[in-house]
Amino acid sequence: MSTFDPTIPPWLAAGSCVGFTILFVGSLYIFPVETAKSKLARQVREHARYTAAAAAAAGTDQPLVNIHHSTTPPASPRPSFSSALSTQSNATTTSTSNTLIITTTKSPSTADNRAHRSSTHLHFIDTAASTANSRTSSSPATSSTSTFSASSASSSSSVSVSTLPSSSSSVTTTAITTTGSKHVVSAKPEVEIHPHSYSQHDQESARFHSPVENQKLDRNHPLVIKQRLKGVALTCIVVPFYLWWLFEFSGAISTEQSFWQRLGRFLALLGISIPNNIFKLVNHVVLPLLLVGCLFMGPTLMMFLSNELPFQQAFDWATQRQHIQGLMGMRNLVVGPISEEVIFRACMVAIVANSGARLPLMIFVLPLVFGIAHINHAYESYVKKGRTRQALKGAVGMAAFQLLYTTLFGWFATFLFLRTSNLIGPYLCHAFCNMMGFPDVTNIQYFGRWKKWLYMTFVLGMVLFGLLLRPLTHPAWYGDEESSGYWILTMGAPAPQES
Give catalytic residue positions.
340, 374
What letters, b where the CB count within 10 A reaches 16 and e where it falls short, cover 326-339?
ebebebbbebbbbb
Cβ neighbours of 355 (radius 10 Å):
23
Parallel, antiparallel, or unpaired for β 117-128 and 170-181?
unpaired
List the one residue out of 271, 262, 258, 257 whose CA is nearest residue 244.
Answer: 262
Residue 263 CB partners (closer than 8 Å, separation 6+): none
Is residue 8 within 8 A of residue 246, CB to CB? The reply is yes
The span from the first CA to the last CA of the chain, in angstroms, equals 25
User: What's phi and psi for 137, nearest 5 deg?
Assistant: -100, 145
Distance CA 356, CA 456 (A): 43
Closest CA to 331 of 242, 220, 409: 220
C-beta separation of 86 from 190 below 8 A = yes
Q: Are 296 and 461 in contact (CB under 8 A)?
A: yes
Q: Give whole-number Cα distances, 417 to 337, 350, 482, 487, in Å.
A: 14, 11, 16, 11
Cα–Cα–Cα angle for 77, 82, 87, nearest 5°?
Answer: 160
Q: Report how far apart, in Å, the C-alpha atoms of 251 and of each of 21, 41, 244, 256 are.
A: 24, 54, 11, 10
Compute the distance between CA of residue 382 and CA of residue 388 in angstroms, rounded to an integer.
Answer: 8
